[in-house]
């Protein structure tokens, strides 16, 4: 690779201009790019100028730079970078670029260069005596698989031997270059294996036919060969189902949503009225209202009648004795818990009849009701055995 510089001033033309056809082509090419991006057409225009003149001169570079609105140095950088642009006059019938990179060198490129030296000029980038042929060594041209190879203008000639290359040079020198087939010079298809086809040698026999789907199976019981039944008529449109949609929930469709029964509501209102009435009475006399509802249960018995008012609502184990004492203990009766848990009532301050009744009740043994069989059922639900004590009771 050598430094690429413009040709000597002695061979530089004074000016450059595209011919009419190429000028129209250049205008059309620059119009392909967005406004302000016309410099993107620099490579196509340089190549078109080289096709017209044979090489790129200083005048060509400056003319194209003016057309594209570019600095001269910018176009010079492009022209000197790519080896496809020739910076000095070349042969008018052929300029041969010989690839000298490793694959082509290993396959005989050096022998091709010797042919160029002997048939064209001993030094590259020099034309022959009549100015029709020139040659140069270049780097890889991208056809390594078909090495060695050369490029002549826009075509490549590959799989070269020394003999075949000499025939090609002679043909171009005689102005018969168009008779040479471009590409591989041996029996090779493009970059395929050398020597022609090595696999799939048989000509293809399969036919590509349009796929036709099979007819639908005939109805069971239909006679063989019978014409297929007519296609069913399209079903009438159906209203969208609402099965998955939630229904309106109200007290009629969902009883669980119903509130308390009307009579229950009346009872609550009645109870609230009673409570307010009791509060008014309590506030009237300044004393807590201890009145009980007429239908109150035993647990709501007048507190003053149970354990002297100390444990209202709590039933003591001496309930039998209390009951035997004529409906309850006396308010001022003293009592104490014995070691057996029974309540001992002091009868000294009771009247004679009451004291006798209390004594008789105290002597009477307390008998507990023997549980019935259904009373034991809840115990059995937990899987535990019924103890003998439970059974005895
Ligand atoms: S090395 Fe010659 S074409 Fe790539």
With b meaning 16 or more CB within 10 Å and e meaning fewer, what string describes 187-221?
ebeeeeeeeeeeeeeeeeeeeeeeeeeeeeeeeee
Whether a cis peptide bond, with omega within 30° of 0, leads into 190 is no
- As a whole number of angstroms, the distance between CA 352 and CA 332 comes to 16
- As a whole number of angstroms, the distance between CA 198 and CA 230 comes to 55
- As a whole number of angstroms, the distance between CA 148 and CA 104 comes to 4
The secondary structure of residue 244, as a DSSP letter, is: T
Q: How remote is the CA of residue 141 from the centroid of ligand 1, in Å?
A: 5
Q: How remote is the CA of residue 263 from the centroid of ligand 1, in Å?
A: 107
What pLDDT is recorded for position 294? 53
Q: How remote is the CA of residue 41 from the centroid of ligand 1, in Å?
A: 28
What pLDDT is recorded for position 252? 64
Contacts of 49 (CB under 8 A, 6+ apart): 16, 18, 22, 56, 60, 63, 64
Banded model confidence at residue 25, pLDDT cuts 50, 70, 90? very high
Judge residue 21's burial from the number of C-beta atoms within 10 Å of its C-beta, 0-12 exposed, 13-18 middle, 19 or more buried: exposed
- Residue in 106, 126, 103, 122 with CA at minimum distance from that of residue 114: 122
Residue with tokens 């020739």: 86
Q: Best mutation site among 96, 99, 183 for ligand 1, i.e. most ligand atoms within 8 A of its Cβ? A: 99
Q: How remote is the CA of residue 135 from the centroid of ligand 1, in Å?
A: 16
Give me the percent of the chain exceeding a pLDDT of 70.
59
Question: Among 1.10.10.1590, 3.40.50.1100, 3.30.365.10, 3.40.50.720, what is the CATH number of 9-81?
Answer: 1.10.10.1590
Q: How remote is the CA of residue 190 from the centroid of ligand 1, in Å?
A: 15
Q: How many CB atoms lie within 10 A of CB 138?
A: 17
Residue 135 bridge partners (DSSP): 96
Q: Best mutation site among 96, 149, 159 for ligand 1, i.e. most ligand atoms within 8 A of its Cβ? A: 149
Counting from 1 in the atom list of ligand 1, the atom nearest the Cα of 141 is: 3
Counting from 1 in the atom list of ligand 1, the atom nearest the Cα of 102 is: 1
The CATH architecture annotation of domain 94-184 reads 3-Layer(aba) Sandwich (3.40)
Q: Best mutation site among 100, 105, 144, 155 for ligand 1, i.e. most ligand atoms within 8 A of its Cβ? A: 144
Which backbone phi and psi does 294 adopt, to 5 degrees? -60, -35
Q: Are 355 and 347 in contact (CB under 8 A)?
A: yes
Whether the model clears a pTM of 0.85, i.e. scores above it, the answer is: no
- As a whole number of angstroms, the distance between CA 180 and CA 191 comes to 19
- Which tens digits make up the pLDDT trace of 255-266? 555 655 555 555
What pLDDT is recorded for position 318? 44
CB under 6 Å to ligand 1: residues?
A: 99, 101, 103-104, 140-144, 147, 149
Structure token digits, residue 316: 């003591």
Please report, to the nearest 10 degrees, the dihedral formed by the alpha carbons of residues 279, 280, 284, 285 taken in order: -30
Q: How remote is the CA of residue 356 from the centroid of ligand 1, in Å?
A: 139
3-state secondary structure of 152: strand
Q: How remote is the CA of residue 104 from the centroid of ligand 1, in Å?
A: 5
Q: Is the pLDDT of residue 116 over 90?
A: yes
Lowest mean pLDDT, pick from 114-123, 126-135, 178-187, 257-266 = 257-266
Identical fold between 9-81 and 94-184:
no
Judge residue 312's burial from the number of C-beta atoms within 10 Å of its C-beta, 0-12 exposed, 13-18 middle, 19 or more buried: middle
What pLDDT is recorded for position 171? 97
Structure token digits, residue 58: 């200083």
- As a whole number of angstroms, the distance between CA 53 and CA 134 comes to 15
- As a whole number of angstroms, the distance between CA 123 and CA 59 comes to 26
- As a whole number of angstroms, the distance between CA 318 and CA 341 comes to 9
Q: How remote is the CA of residue 113 from the centroid of ligand 1, in Å?
A: 14
As a whole number, the mean pLDDT across the chain is 77
Residue with tokens 């639908």: 216
Kindly give the pairing relationship between strand 335-337 and strand 94-99: unpaired
- Residue in 26, 76, 30 with CA at minimum distance from that of residue 51: 26
What is the separation, in whole angstroms, between the first and last Cα of the chain?
121
Higher pLDDT, 304 or 156: 156
Q: How remote is the CA of residue 100 from the centroid of ligand 1, in Å?
A: 7
Counting from 1 in the atom list of ligand 1, the atom nearest the Cα of 147 is: 2
- As a whole number of angstroms, the distance between CA 210 and CA 377 comes to 82
- Which tens digits make up the pLDDT trace of 190-242? 998 888 778 888 888 888 888 888 888 876 555 555 555 555 566 666 666 66
Q: Best mutation site among 145, 147, 184 for ligand 1, i.e. most ligand atoms within 8 A of its Cβ? A: 147
Q: Is the pLDDT of residue 55 over 80?
A: yes
Domain extents for the chain? 9-81, 94-184, 317-393
Structure token digits, residue 267: 């009872």
Q: Is the pLDDT of residue 385 over 50?
A: no
Which backbone phi and psi does 8 adopt, to 5 degrees? -60, 150
- As a whole number of angstroms, the distance between CA 154 and CA 33 comes to 25
What pLDDT is recorded for position 210? 83
Q: Are 17 and 28 in contact (CB under 8 A)?
A: no
Banded model confidence at residue 324, pLDDT cuts 50, 70, 90? very low
């Amino acid at each position: 690779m050598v430094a690429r510089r413009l040709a000597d001033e002695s061979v530089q033309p004074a000016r450059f201009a595209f011919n009419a056809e190429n000028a129209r082509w250049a205008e059309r090419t620059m119009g392909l790019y967005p406004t302000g991006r016309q410099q993107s057409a620099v490579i196509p225009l340089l190549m078109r100028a080289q096709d017209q003149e044979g090489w790129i001169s200083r005048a060509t570079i400056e003319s194209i730079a003016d057309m594209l609105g570019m600095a001269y140095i910018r176009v010079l950088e492009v022209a000197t970078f790519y080896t496809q642009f020739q910076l000095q006059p070349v042969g008018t019938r052929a300029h041969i670029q010989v690839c000298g990179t490793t694959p082509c060198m290993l396959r005989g490129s050096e022998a091709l260069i010797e042919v160029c030296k002997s048939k064209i000029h001993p030094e590259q980038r020099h034309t022959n005596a009549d100015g029709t042929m020139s040659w140069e060594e270049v780097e890889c041209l991208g056809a390594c698989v078909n090495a060695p190879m050369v490029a002549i203008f826009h075509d490549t000639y590959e799989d070269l031997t020394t003999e075949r290359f000499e025939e090609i040079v002679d043909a171009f020198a005689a102005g018969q270059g168009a008779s040479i087939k471009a590409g591989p010079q041996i029996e090779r298809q493009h970059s395929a294996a050398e020597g022609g086809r090595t696999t799939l040698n048989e000509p293809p026999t399969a036919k590509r036919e349009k796929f036709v789907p099979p007819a639908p199976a005939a109805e069971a019981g239909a006679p063989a060969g019978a014409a297929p039944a007519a296609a069913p008529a399209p079903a009438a449109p159906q209203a969208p189902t609402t099965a998955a949609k939630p229904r309106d929930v109200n007290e009629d469709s969902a009883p669980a949503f119903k509130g308390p029964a009307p009579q229950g509501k009346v009872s609550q209102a009645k109870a609230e009225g009673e409570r307010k009435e009791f509060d008014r009475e309590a506030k009237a006399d300044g004393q807590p209202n201890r009145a009980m509802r007429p239908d109150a249960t035993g647990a709501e018995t007048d507190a003053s009648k149970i354990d002297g008012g100390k444990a209202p609502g709590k039933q003591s184990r001496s309930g039998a004795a209390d009951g035997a004492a004529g409906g309850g203990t006396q308010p001022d009766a003293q009592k104490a818990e014995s070691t057996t848990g029974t309540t001992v009532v002091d009868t000294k301050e009771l009247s004679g009849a009451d004291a006798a009744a209390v004594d008789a009740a105290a002597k009477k043994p307390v008998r507990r009701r023997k549980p019935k069989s259904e009373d034991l059922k809840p115990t059995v639900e937990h899987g535990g055995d019924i103890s003998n004590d439970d059974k005895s009771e």
